[in-house]
Amino acid sequence: MAVGVAELVGGALGGAIVTSVITPLLAQRIDRRQHRASALSALGLIEQSRWGDEDFRAFREAVRKLRTTALVAGADRTLVDRYLLYAQVARQTSDWNVEIADGYPEAAGIPTSLANLVRAAAEALVDHLWHPWRTRIFRAHIVRQLDRAVDRIKRADEERNMAPTIAWEVTPIR
């Protein structure tokens, strides 16, 4: 009889542990996946609205949505901030080009080097959202590569001895 009670108590205790520890972990993992998917969706909205001929309010809202969903999804803030900075620089540069062309929306292009930088930052963020643990290991290397690319672009702009072609001075959207 004592063995039966011990088995009953042990089974109940084991069930309680599974219910109280493992189930919330699995639920949290599913929630994180949903938040990562929302962050990827917001990144897509930013990519669509970061051109000078698009509504700035849509761009600003997409930036805010990415920032919040990425935070909830547990994304690395450095990668999110870098991508958002480069996307804002691209948006401001695109706006400059439209202004220079007297509002002609087809002039909303940006230099190829800046487009490549934004694309590299977006790819790094997408990879991080899909594989968070793998990219945490290489995050410092990725950030260094992005910083070097920025330095190369700025140096190339200075060497041309022309007015800047990229709007590096932006106020971050919060």
* Interval 13-60: pLDDT, tens: 566 565 665 555 445 555 777 888 888 888 899 998 888 777 889 999
Residue 17 confidence (pLDDT)? 62
**Residue-by-residue DSSP string for 131-158:** SHHHHHHHHHHHHHHHHHHHHHHHHHHH
Place 65 in a pLDDT band, splitting at 50, 70 and 90: very high
Q: For residue 132, what are the contacts with CB-CB under 8 A and spacing of at least 6?
A: 36, 74, 75, 76
- pLDDT by residue (tens digit) across 76-129? 999 999 999 999 999 988 888 877 777 666 666 888 899 999 999 999 999 998
Q: Name the pTM for this structure.
A: 0.78
How far apart are alpha carbons 115 and 124 in whole angstroms? 14
The confidence score (pLDDT) of residue 95 equals 84
